[in-house]
Amino acid sequence: MSIKVRYFASLREKMGRVEESLAPEGIDTVADIWKVVDEGQPLPEHILCAVNMEYADPATPVRDGDEVAFFPPVTGG
């Protein structure tokens, strides 16, 4: 299995990719994922995250098979 990571809106453009798969080894939290995908950088304060389509925070645990998403502030309506 693996952890699916998705990006939306301006963050998707900045990352230059829509999604990717990560091996779950060494990943315990959302913050751990960000370190892997952004070369050790901390998660920017304004970026939101979700685990399995529920809002989460950097400390939220992540397990093999989860879908984790990162995105900028939402602007619907």
Which of positions 22-51 make contact with other proteins (CB under 8 A)? Answer: 50
Can you tell me which of 1, 2, 9, 42 binds other proteins, judged by CB under 8 A? 9
Judged by beta carbon, residue 22 or residue 56, the one nearer other proteins is: 56
Interaction of residue 76 with other proteins, rule CB under 8 A: yes
Interaction of residue 74 with other proteins, rule CB under 8 A: yes
Euclidean distance between CA atoms 62 and 12, whole angstroms? 21
